[in-house]
Amino acid sequence: MPNSPTPLRVILFDLGSTLIYSKDPWLPIFKQADQALVERLHQAGIQLELEAFSSEFETFLDSYYAFRGVNLLEKTTFSLLIELLEQKGFKDVPVAVVRAGLDAMYSITQQNWYIEADAVPTLNRLRETGYRLGMISNTSDDKNVQQLVDRWGLRHFFEIIITSAGCGFRKPDERIFQLALDHFSLPPHQVAMIGDTLEADIQGANQAGIYSIWITRRAQVPEEGELTIQPQAVITALEQLPDLLVEVEKDPL
């Protein structure tokens, strides 16, 4: 990134493992979520055997996750569920039924997300300082993210909330960052991105010319060796962000 005396104006946030975190092991929660999904489909007359369906759905999702990791295109859980149901002989399942099943599933997984204690105080400090805020989240279900944002009272902080399910491509694809830049009508060097994932948040920001800040509190940190993806700044907690930005403002980016 070329040096510039222009200060940062916008801070973009990741959501999961940045502003909110999961506390309990996911495996038993996923099993409960699958059960809720199957029970809701049963109510609509779609008879599925829980264990078999859970295994098939997991295999189906794993195959897609491997695929999307290569091309960075986001296919929603909604469309994947419809495909799996069609493969099992359930054709033309009403949209409302599929959505209700997913809502039941996500109502379980959402209970394992908790807001970081320093999230709201940090967002308040940034807003009071004059920063504009946005969010970019990788997810296969836009509604799930939007509900999590509302669950923890975060919506009023952000001018825009972009999800990969909503726009069709995932971080680090530059196009999802460009959507944020277009919204704020600012050049990349006036924008910073903070997130926990090197491959998505940091690499994507670097490629887009956005100032990259890696938060390591919930991150998968390599045990040894140099990072292959280099953030421009590192913090261990959100509460460190306002002071970091003060330091950044003192020196050209």
pLDDT in tens, 219-240: 988 877 778 999 999 999 999 9
Q: Are residues 201 and 145 in the same domain?
A: yes
Q: Are residues 128 and 14 in the same domain?
A: yes
Q: Is residue 40 part of a domain?
A: yes
Q: Are residues 237 and 120 in the same domain?
A: yes
Q: Are residues 146 and 239 in the same domain?
A: yes
CATH number, domain of 98, equals 1.10.150
| Range 59-66 average pLDDT | 82
Distance CA 154, CA 71 (A): 31
Distance CA 7, CA 108 (A): 42
Q: Are residues 126 and 203 in the same domain?
A: yes
Q: Are residues 46 and 98 in the same domain?
A: yes
| Range 186-205 average pLDDT | 97
Domain boundary among 90, 111, 132: 111
Q: pLDDT confidence of 6, banded at 50, 70, 90? A: low
Count of structural domains within the chain = 2
- Please tell me the predicted confidence (pLDDT) of residue 2: 42
Kindly report the length of the chain: 253
Q: Is the dihedral of CA 115, 117, 123, 128 positive or negative?
A: positive
Q: How many CB atoms lie within 10 A of CB 161?
A: 20
- Please tell me the predicted confidence (pLDDT) of residue 4: 44
Q: Record the pTM.
A: 0.93
- Please tell me the predicted confidence (pLDDT) of residue 167: 97
Q: Which domain holds residue 58?
A: 26-111
Please tell me whether residue 44 adopts helix, strand or coil conformation.
Answer: coil
| Range 140-167 average pLDDT | 98
pLDDT digits (tens, 9 = 90+) for 108-132: 999 999 999 999 999 999 999 999 9
Q: Are residues 14 and 139 in the same domain?
A: yes
Q: Is residue 37 part of a domain?
A: yes
pLDDT digits (tens, 9 = 90+) for 7-46: 899 999 999 999 999 999 999 999 999 999 999 999 999 9
Q: How many CB atoms lie within 10 A of CB 143?
A: 18
Q: What is the mean pLDDT of the chain?
A: 93
- Please tell me the predicted confidence (pLDDT) of residue 253: 58
Q: Are residues 133 and 242 in the same domain?
A: yes
Q: How many CB atoms lie within 10 A of CB 9?
A: 15
Q: Would you state the torsion angle of the CA atoms of residues 23, 25, 27, 29, taken in this order, to the nearest 10 degrees?
A: -40
